[in-house]
Amino acid sequence: AYEIGSGLVGAEMCIRDRYESKQEQLDEQKKIIADQEKMLDEQQKELDRIAGIRSDLVKALRDEFSGSSLNVKIDEKTGAITFDAGVLFDVSDSELKEDGKKFINQFLPKYCSVLLSDDYRDYVSEIIIEGHTDTNGSYIYNLELSQQRAFSVARYCLTESNGIISSGQEEQLRTVLTANGKSYSNPIYGDDGEVDMDASRRVEIKFRLQDEEMIDEMMDILKDK
């Protein structure tokens, strides 16, 4: 009887140990899940904060250019501004036309008054000037042309003697401005599904916010949840 009783006690202890071990595992899993939920909640709050800043910036840009004679298109979601390259350059040329310089003279002060204002400049990590071409010619030829056009715009914006913006704004702009050529990698299509050559020849100016790469990664994570 003693042996039987000892066996039962041993079995009970073994079952209890296994139960406690399982319970510890469950508690650890619950803690991990709770930590993940907290992290996702914090990430969502950060996403909402960044989205709110971008939304405010887009609205401020829209207000600034409303009623302006400048023919610019503002993307309602990203704040990217597009203008016809024909305003700035002759066909297959990267040298700014006089009309193009006049356009920038009017455009840049308005743009900088928003992006480099006290309300937003601390949030802006990069301002990008992008050149885009139509699909005529080779990719490399158009890559070089689009890059040269973007650089021509950037150089004109940052030429101090032009006096387009204040010296303080110019100094701030130098820290965030970049120029990229995109060749015909992102053409514009018409309703008929064909490439709209005129619309594809364009210059875009866009901005990135602080920690935006991290935000993009966070958004990918949240999409998978």
Is residue 136 over pLDDT 80? yes
Mean pLDDT of the chain: 86
- What does the alpha-carbon distance between residue 103 and residue 111 come to, in Å, rounded to a whole number? 12
Task: Give the least confident one: 39-43, 55-59, 147-151.
Answer: 39-43
Q: How far apart are CA 210 and CA 71, in angstroms?
A: 29
pLDDT category at 26 given cuts 50, 70, 90 is confident
Q: How confident is the model at residue 181 (pLDDT cuts 50, 70, 90)?
A: very high
- 152: burial class by Cβ within 10 Å (0-12, 13-18, 19+)? buried
What DSSP line would sit under the chain, residue for residue? -HHHHHHHHHHHHHHHHHHHHHHHHHHHHHHHHHHHHHHHHHHHHHHHHHHHHHHHHHHHHHHHHTT-SS--EE-TTT--EEEEHHHH--TT--SPPHHHHHHHHHHHHHHHHHHTSTTTTTTEEEEEEEEE--SSS-HHHHHHHHHHHHHHHHHHHT-GGG--S-HHHHHHHHTTEEEEE-TTSS--B-TTSSB-HHHHSEEEEEEEETTHHHHHHHHHHHHT-
AA identity, residue 137: G
Q: Is the pLDDT of residue 2 over 80?
A: no
- Which residues partner with 131 through β-bridges? 181, 203
Q: Measure the CA–CA gap between 69 and 187, rounded to whole angstroms.
A: 26
Residue of 26 and 10 predicted with greater confidence? 26
Q: Cα separations (Å) of 32 from 26, 27, 217, 221? A: 10, 9, 21, 17
Q: How many whole angstroms separate alpha carbon 164 and alpha carbon 137?
A: 35
> How does pLDDT run across 46-87, given as a tens digit for each residue?
666 677 888 999 999 999 999 888 878 899 999 999 988 999
Answer yes or no: pTM beyond 0.95. Answer: no
What is the model's pLDDT at position 94? 95
